[in-house]
Amino acid sequence: MKISIVKIGGNVIDDPQKLDEFLYLFARLEGKKILVHGGGVMASKFGERLGIQPNMVDGRRITDAETLDVVTMVYGGLINKKIVAKLQALEQNALGVTGADGNLIRSAKRPVKDIDYGFVGDVKEVDTELLDTLLEKDIIPVVSAITHDKKGNLLNTNADTIASEIATSMAVKNTVRLYFCFNKAGVLIDENNDDSVVTKINEDIYDELKKDKVIHSGMIPKLDNAFSALDKGVSNVWLGKAENLVLAAKGKKSGTNIEKHRYDLY
């Protein structure tokens, strides 16, 4: 079975028009598909309304008990159900889930080392049974960035990581393509210039760009997950603007393709 796994970022989710445009394109994506979403921008705004200031380190959210309540309500409730309802309007039968539903994603609370991330989960296992069942019935799973530890606790978990872990688990028996859609044209040499996109990147180039501080903050976990997915059997990984999703799926030049082999940057 060929499966497309698409992760959509919070900057697109936070803009109603951009979200509608993306979901229209996602609906046009052929074949079996899974949508993974975060929603950090909206979670931060709702938290601030409640007097809870976001605390980010290297692109990852420090999650205390109050913040966990906020992200659970925003990711697993408001955003997830809005996306499902919009997909239904596009004749796309969808079902919204967290990692706790159907024991989909089990995580462990991240151990404290240099930083205490709080109630943040590191994925330990993806049980693909629920996803297999839904896809066989032509139902699109819409997965929010909340997992569980099977001890009764929910954990905030990076949505890029969830997309990557689902992709690698599904790749054991399927041909899987992974798409990271967000508000940038791809990996950029100049983050303020969409024309500076790096069309292909491998680990050597990635290391150089990190060293030069061209790649930093939230882009680091995104690319770490992309390379991890390729290492574990995912066929293709792409990163770029949400509006270029269909072009990327058809092999048209757009965004950044993540690859393992060596080649020249220019």
Distance CA 158, CA 147 (A): 10
The residues with which 147 forms a beta bridge, in sequence order, are 155
Residue 69 burial (10 A CB sphere; 0-12, 13-18, 19+) = middle
Number of residues in the chain: 266
Amino acid identity of residue 106, one-letter, is R
Distance CA 242, CA 6 (A): 10
39 annotated among ligand-binding-site residues: yes
End-to-end CA distance of the chain: 35
CA angle 65, 56, 195 (to 5 degrees): 140
What is each CA distance from 82 to 43, 58, 76, in whole angstroms? 14, 29, 10
Per the listing, tokens 């046009």 go with 28
Residue pair 55/62 in contact (Cβ under 8 Å)? The answer is yes
With H, G, I as helix, E, B as strand and everything else as coil, classify residue 105: strand
Q: Residue 78 is inside which H or E element, if any?
A: none
What is each CA distance from 61 to 107, 120, 159, 243, in whole angstroms? 16, 8, 11, 27
156 annotated among ligand-binding-site residues: yes
102 annotated among ligand-binding-site residues: no
Annotated binding site for substrate: 39-40, 61, 156
**Residue ranges at the known binding site:** 39-40, 61, 156
